[in-house]
Structure 1
Amino acid sequence: MKKKIVVTLLACMALCTAAAQQKRIALDELRDKIAGAWLGQMVGNMYGLPFENKFIEKEGNEADFPYGYSKSLAKMEQYDGAFSDDDTDVEYLYLMLMEKYGTEPTYAQMREGWMYHIRDRVWLANRAALGLMHYGYTPPFTGSMESNPHWYQIDPQLINEIWSYTAPGMVRYAAGKSAWAARITSDGWAISPTIHYGAMYAEAFFESNIEKLVLDALKYLPADDRYAATVRHMYELYKKYPNDWQKARAEMAEAYYEQEPEMTRTIWNANLNGACGILTLLYGKGDLQRTMDLGCAMGFDADNQTATVGGILGVINGGASLPDQLLMPFEGWTKPFNDRYINITRYDMPDASIDDMIDRTVDMAVKLVCEKGGRVVERGGKRYLVINPKAEFKAPLEFCVGPMPRMEVGCPVDYSFSCAANRDYTWTLTEGALPEGVAFDNGRITGTPQRAGRYPVTLTLSDGKKTLTKHFELLVRTKNIAPEADSILTNIRTMNEEALYKCWITFGKPMYAHSVDVIRDGRLNGEGSVFYSLAAHADLPKIDWFGYEWKEPRTIDMLAFHTGCLEEFGGWFSSVAIQYRGEDGRWYDVGKFRSTPELPESDDVFIQPHFVEYLFEFEPVKTTAIRMLLDCKVQEHWNKPTKGCSSFISITELSVYEKQ
Structure 2
Amino acid sequence: MTQLKYIVTALLLLLAGSTAARSRSISMEELRDKIAGAWIGQMVGNIYGLPFENKFVGEPGSEADFPYGYSKNLAKLAQYDGAFSDDDTDIEYLYLTLMEKYGSEPTYAQMREGWMYHIRDRVWLANRAALGLMHYGFTPPFTGSAQYNPHWYQIDPQLINEIWAYTAPGMTAYAAAKSEWAARITSDGWATSPTVHYGAMYAEAFFCRDVRKLVETALKYLPAGDRYAATVREVLALYDAHPSSWQTARAELARKYYHEEEAMTKTIWNANLNGAMGILALLYGGGDLQRTMDIGCAAGFDCDNQTATIGGLLGVMYGAKAIPDALSKPLKGWTKPFNDRYINITRYDMPDASIDDMIDRTVAQAVALACSKGGRIVKTAKGERLSVDTRARFVAPLEFCVGPQPRIEAGTPVDHSFACVTNANCDWQLAKGTLPEGLAFSNGRLSGTAARPGKYPVTLSLSNGTQRIEKEFTLVVRGRNIAPQADSVLANVRNVNKEHLYNCWITFGHPMYADHVGVINDGVRYGAGSVFYTLAAEACIPKVDYLGYEFAAPRKIGMVALDMGCMEEFGGWFSSIAVQYRDGQGHWHEVSGCSVSPGLPASDEVFIQPHFVEYLFEFEPVETTAVRIIADTKVQPHWNKATKNTSAFLSVTELSVYEAE
Would you call these one fold, judging by a TM-score over 0.5? Answer: yes
Counterpart for residue 332 of structure 1: 333
Counterpart for residue 98 of structure 1: 99
Higher alpha-carbon deviation: 130-139 or 422-431 = 422-431
State how far apart, in whole Å, the 2-side matches of 1:388 and 1:422 are.
26
State how far apart, in whole Å, the 1-side matches of 2:249 and 2:322 are.
29
Say if 2:654 is the partner of 1:653: yes
1:61-90 deviations in Å (ceiling 9; x for gaps): 111111110111111101100000000000
Matches within 5 A, 1:502-521: 502-521=503-522
Contact 1:502 1:645 in 2 (8 A): no
Matches within 5 A, 1:212-611: 212-611=213-612
State how far apart, in whole Å, the 1-side matches of 2:560 and 2:651 are.
17
Contact 1:635 1:642 in 2 (8 A): no
State how far apart, in whole Å, the 2-side matches of 1:317 and 1:472 are.
51
Q: 1:595 to 1:208 in 2, by over 3 A?
A: same
Q: 1:565 to 1:72 in 2, by over 3 A?
A: same
Higher alpha-carbon deviation: 28-37 or 639-648 = 639-648
TM-score relative to the length of structure 1:
0.97
Q: 1:11 to 1:282 in 2, by over 3 A?
A: closer
State how far apart, in whole Å, the 2-side matches of 1:230 and 1:556 are.
53
1:97-139 deviations in Å (ceiling 9; x for gaps): 0000000000000000000000000110000000000000000
State how far apart, in whole Å, the 2-side matches of 1:296 and 1:603 are.
37
State how far apart, in whole Å, the 2-side matches of 1:204 and 1:638 are.
40
Tell me how far 1:539 sits from its aligned partner: 2.0
Letter in 2 for 1:89: D
Letter in 2 for 1:467: R
Instruction: Please state whether the residue corresponding to 1:624 is helix, strand or coil.
Output: strand
Letter in 1 for 2:43: M
State how far apart, in whole Å, the 2-side matches of 1:9 and 1:552 are.
89
Q: 1:226 to 1:402 in 2, by over 3 A?
A: same
Counterpart for residue 140 of structure 1: 141
Contact 2:23 2:388 in 1 (8 A): yes
Letter in 1 for 2:211: I
Letter in 2 for 1:305: Q
State how far apart, in whole Å, the 2-side matches of 1:520 and 1:159 are.
38
Letter in 1 for 2:372: E
Counterpart for residue 42 of structure 2: 41
Tell me how far 1:583 sits from its aligned partner: 1.2
Q: Any gaps of 5 or more consecutive residues in structure 1? A: none
Letter in 1 for 2:652: I
1:173-206 deviations in Å (ceiling 9; x for gaps): 0000000000000001000000000000000000
1:536-585 deviations in Å (ceiling 9; x for gaps): 21121211100001111111111100000111110111110221111111
State how far apart, in whole Å, the 2-side matches of 1:636 and 1:272 are.
30
Higher alpha-carbon deviation: 550-559 or 99-108 = 550-559
Q: 1:9 to 1:204 in 2, by over 3 A?
A: closer
Tell me how far 1:646 sits from its aligned partner: 2.2
TM-score relative to the length of structure 2:
0.97
Contact 2:638 2:644 in 1 (8 A): no
State how far apart, in whole Å, the 1-side matches of 2:141 and 2:456 are.
25
Question: Number of residue pairs matched?
Answer: 656
Contact 1:38 1:311 in 2 (8 A): yes
State how far apart, in whole Å, the 1-side matches of 2:199 and 2:10 are.
39
State how far apart, in whole Å, the 2-side matches of 1:264 and 1:456 are.
40
Instruction: Please state whether the residue corresponding to 1:338 is helix, strand or coil.
Output: helix
Contact 2:505 2:640 in 1 (8 A): no
State how far apart, in whole Å, the 1-side matches of 2:372 and 2:72 are.
43
1:390-439 deviations in Å (ceiling 9; x for gaps): 11111000000000111101111111111011111111111111111111
Tell me how far 1:591 sits from its aligned partner: 3.2
Contact 2:540 2:635 in 1 (8 A): no
Contact 1:417 1:444 in 2 (8 A): yes
Instruction: Please state whether the residue corresponding to 2:97 is helix, strand or coil.
Output: helix
Contact 1:499 1:646 in 2 (8 A): no
1:242-282 deviations in Å (ceiling 9; x for gaps): 00111111111000000000000000000110111010100
Counterpart for residue 64 of structure 2: 63
Tell me how far 1:644 sits from its aligned partner: 3.7
Counterpart for residue 167 of structure 2: 166
Letter in 1 for 2:418: F
Instruction: Write out the 4+ residue segments of structure 1 that deviate beyond 6 Å after TM superposition.
Output: 5-13
Tell me how far 1:18 sits from its aligned partner: 2.5
State how far apart, in whole Å, the 2-side matches of 1:336 and 1:539 are.
46
Say if 2:122 is the partner of 1:121: yes
Higher alpha-carbon deviation: 576-585 or 77-86 = 576-585
State how far apart, in whole Å, the 2-side matches of 1:196 and 1:483 are.
46
State how far apart, in whole Å, the 2-side matches of 1:84 and 1:641 are.
29
1:213-251 deviations in Å (ceiling 9; x for gaps): 111111111120000010001111111110011111111
Instruction: Please state whether the residue corresponding to 1:513 is helix, strand or coil.
Output: coil
Q: 1:20 to 1:172 in 2, by over 3 A?
A: closer
Tell me how far 1:643 sits from its aligned partner: 2.4
Q: 1:231 to 1:163 in 2, by over 3 A?
A: same
Q: 1:134 to 1:392 in 2, by over 3 A?
A: same
Matches within 5 A, 1:635-654: 635-638=636-639, 642-654=643-655
State how far apart, in whole Å, the 2-side matches of 1:351 and 1:480 are.
53
Contact 1:503 1:644 in 2 (8 A): no
Tell me how far 1:7 sits from its aligned partner: 12
State how far apart, in whole Å, the 1-side matches of 2:497 and 2:639 are.
24
Instruction: Please state whether the residue corresponding to 1:36 is helix, strand or coil.
Output: helix
Tell me how far 1:619 sits from its aligned partner: 1.1
Counterpart for residue 615 of structure 1: 616
Counterpart for residue 111 of structure 1: 112
Contact 1:494 1:515 in 2 (8 A): yes
Counterpart for residue 628 of structure 1: 629
Instruction: Please state whether the residue corresponding to 2:31 is helix, strand or coil.
Output: helix
State how far apart, in whole Å, the 1-side matches of 2:642 and 2:557 are.
40
State how far apart, in whole Å, the 1-side matches of 2:564 and 2:21 are.
56
Contact 2:503 2:642 in 1 (8 A): no
Letter in 2 for 1:178: S
1:483-518 deviations in Å (ceiling 9; x for gaps): 111000001111111111111110001101111111
Contact 2:582 2:626 in 1 (8 A): yes
Q: 1:378 to 1:547 in 2, by over 3 A?
A: same
Tell me how far 1:588 sits from its aligned partner: 1.1
State how far apart, in whole Å, the 2-side matches of 1:252 and 1:15 are.
44
Contact 1:33 1:205 in 2 (8 A): yes
Letter in 1 for 2:328: L
Letter in 1 for 2:655: L
State how far apart, in whole Å, the 2-side matches of 1:585 and 1:13 are.
88
Identity of aligned residues (%): 68
Q: 1:617 to 1:370 in 2, by over 3 A?
A: same
Q: 1:475 to 1:329 in 2, by over 3 A?
A: same
State how far apart, in whole Å, the 2-side matches of 1:17 and 1:238 are.
34
Letter in 2 for 1:629: I
Contact 1:366 1:385 in 2 (8 A): yes
State how far apart, in whole Å, the 2-side matches of 1:183 and 1:638 are.
30
